[in-house]
């Protein structure tokens, strides 16, 4: 009987933020499709885990670089920022499909990361602006749409891999659909001028704390996205379809977790949610590590996805609340720099750990990492909420 109001809460949040939600769907589709094809790309390159982890620094480097430039891009393009970001993001995916050497693949993924980072900061900033205008929590619902699309992209990949189709085919089809939807992504930007008495010192400490929460979440998420299919196919001897279902399971449960987080965030503070989510996701990582078969790995990835799903969005929502309104977009960008640097560190650390000790130990390390979100959340609980809004 209580389900209807909860569903209406989610649908209302998505209706309010429908334009940035579409941008979240676009990013999720492409990254989910790519994650399920990681074994394919790795096989083409013919490298071991450690070298492949280093190669993946390309996308992370581009992503982090974009975070610094995104506020400038946002101010320059204004209402068309999400359109430009989406167009660049779709076009960038052409390059990895034709890269056959490690250096070419790293460079091409750097271009992808650059475009993805620009779109990511802009769409998160639009959501934060809508949260300020409506006094509602919207971040979890939007990140849930990323997870739904991520699972869908991985599911599409399971079909194309079963049919032995090259990855480029579906990339082209998905890209065409995105280009058709570009006009819908035009969204006015809310400009907030600094008050005359605004402090000149930038609130770096709150950004570092909230960014640390996002960093832990996205490092864990990136590690599982990149290595889950390989864990199932190599460690657990699963086939290509079973491997692709690893990222799909993560995406589905992250969607459930984030939709649930949208409801819970109206009743609990963000830091309280992070406490519980860190413990749940760490448990899932342990299960995936000790899984004797793909089925148990799916259970582990599913539990991990439920927990980790809300940690990142909560960190980004927090930073939008603890800084002055005129600093919101730049603050989110800086927190995103810290958070998305997880995509810089995670592939290398997991690759090196896997090369030395195997993927089971690597996933145990992810469990320990997730538990570090708890002390960061305790620090965040002490931050004052800014009252001034748009």
- The predicted pLDDT at position 108 comes to 92
145-159, 242-256, 374-388: which has the minimum mean pLDDT?
374-388
Structure confidence at residue 3 (pLDDT): 61
Residues contacting residue 19 through CB under 8 Å, at least 6 positions apart: 82, 126, 184, 185, 186, 187
Per-residue confidence (pLDDT) for residue 164, from 0 to 100: 86
Who's near 313: CB < 8 A, 6+ residues apart? 139, 140, 142, 143, 258, 261
pLDDT exceeds cutoff 50 at 390: no
Element (DSSP H or E) covering residue 28: helix 18-36
Cβ 220 vs Cβ 112: under 8 Å = no
**Domains of the chain (ranges plus CATH)?**
12-189+203-380 (1.20.1250.20)
Q: What mean pLDDT do residues 337-350 have? A: 76
Q: What is the pLDDT of residue 306?
A: 87
Cβ neighbour number for residue 293 with a 10 Å cutoff = 12
Distance CA 355, CA 51 (A): 9
Q: Tell the burial category of 158 from Cβ atoms under 10 Å away from its Cβ (0-12, 13-18, 19+).
A: buried
Q: CA-to-CA distance for 339 and 228, rounded, in angstroms?
A: 21
User: pLDDT over 70 for what percent of the chain?
Assistant: 90
- Is residue 236 predicted with pLDDT exceeding 70? yes
Token pair for 158:
């399971």
What would the two tokens of residue 99 be?
Answer: 């890269």
Nearest to 366 by CA among 281, 245, 252: 281
For residue 122, which of 86, 74, 179 has the smallest C-alpha distance? 74
pLDDT of residue 288: 92
Position 261 pLDDT exceeds 80: no
28-82 pLDDT, tens digit per residue, is 999 989 988 888 888 889 888 888 878 877 777 787 777 677 777 777 888 888 9
The whole-angstrom separation of Cα 294 and Cα 299 is 9
Nearest to 324 by CA among 201, 215, 213: 201
Q: Binning pLDDT at 50, 70 and 90, where does residue 389 land?
A: very low
Of residues 346 and 46, which shows the higher confidence score?
46
* Per-residue burial over 71-86, b = 16 or more CB atoms within 10 Å of its CB, e = otherwise: bebbeebeebbbbbbb
Per the model's pLDDT, the better-predicted residue between 25 and 135 turns out to be 25
CB 270 within 8 A of CB 317: yes
Tell me if 254 sits within 8 A of 147, measured CB to CB.
yes
Q: Are 15 and 136 spatial neighbours (Cβ–Cβ below 8 Å)?
A: no
Distance between CA 238 and CA 231 in Å, rounded? 9
At 142-191, the pLDDT tens digits run 888 888 898 889 889 888 888 888 888 888 998 899 999 999 998 877 66
What average pLDDT does range 221-239 have in this prediction? 85
DSSP letter at 96 equals G
Mean pLDDT throughout 264-292? Answer: 85
Mention every residue, 6+ apart, whose C-beta is less than 8 A from residue 130: 16, 17, 20, 138
What's the first-to-final CA gap in the chain, in angstroms? 36
Give the tens place of pLDDT for each residue, 111-125: 998 898 889 888 988
Q: Per-residue pLDDT averaged across 197-216, rounded?
A: 76
Contact yes or no for 45/52 (Cβ under 8 A): yes
For 316-322, what is the mean pLDDT? 78
Q: What is the pLDDT of residue 163?
A: 86
State the pLDDT confidence band at 289, using cuts at 50, 70 and 90: very high
What are the distances in angstroms from CA 235 to CA 37, 162, 240, 364? Answer: 17, 20, 13, 14
Of residues 34 and 259, the one with the higher pLDDT is: 34
| Residue with more model confidence, 68 or 280 | 280
Cα Dmax for the chain: 64
């Amino acid at each position: 009987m209580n389900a209807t109001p909860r569903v209406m809460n989610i649908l209302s949040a998505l209706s309010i933020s429908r334009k940035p939600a579409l941008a979240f769907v676009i990013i999720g589709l492409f990254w989910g499709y790519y994650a399920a094809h990681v074994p394919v790309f790795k096989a083409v390159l013919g490298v071991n885990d450690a070298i492949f982890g280093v190669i993946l620094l390309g996308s992370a480097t581009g992503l982090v670089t974009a975070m610094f430039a995104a506020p400038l891009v946002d101010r320059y393009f204004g209402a068309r920022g999400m359109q430009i970001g989406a167009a660049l993001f779709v076009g960038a995916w052409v390059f990895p499909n034709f890269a056959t050497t490690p250096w070419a693949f790293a460079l091409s993924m750097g271009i992808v990361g650059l475009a993805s980072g620009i779109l990511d900061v802009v769409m998160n900033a639009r959501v934060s602006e809508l949260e300020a205008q409506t006094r509602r929590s919207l971040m979890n619902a939007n990140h849930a749409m990323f997870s739904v699309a991520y699972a869908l992209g991985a599911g599409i990949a399971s079909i194309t891999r079963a049919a032995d189709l090259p990855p480029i085919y579906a990339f082209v089809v998905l890209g065409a659909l995105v280009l058709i939807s570009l006009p819908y992504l035009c969204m006015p930007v809310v400009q907030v001028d600094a008050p005359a008495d605004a402090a000149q010192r930038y609130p770096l400490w709150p950004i570092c704390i909230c960014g640390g929460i996002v960093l832990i979440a996205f490092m864990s998420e990136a590690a599982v996205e990149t290595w889950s299919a390989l864990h199932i196919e190599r460690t657990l001897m699963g086939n290509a379809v079973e491997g692709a279902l690893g990222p799909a399971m993560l995406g589905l449960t992250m969607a459930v977790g984030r939709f649930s987080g949208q409801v819970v965030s109206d009743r609990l503070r963000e830091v309280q949610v992070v406490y519980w989510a860190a413990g749940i996701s760490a448990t899932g990582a342990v299960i995936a590590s000790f899984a004797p078969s793909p089925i148990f790995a799916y259970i582990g990835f599913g539990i991990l996805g439920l927990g980790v799903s809300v940690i990142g969005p909560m960190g980004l929502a927090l930073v939008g609340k603890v800084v002055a309104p005129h600093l919101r977009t730049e603050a989110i960008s800086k927190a995103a720099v810290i958070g998305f640097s997880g995509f810089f560190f995670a592939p290398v650390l997991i690759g090196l750990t896997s090369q030395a000790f195997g993927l089971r130990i690597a996933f145990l390390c992810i469990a320990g990492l997730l538990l570090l979100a708890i002390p960061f959340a305790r620090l965040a609980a002490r931050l004052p909420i800014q009252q001034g809004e748009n």
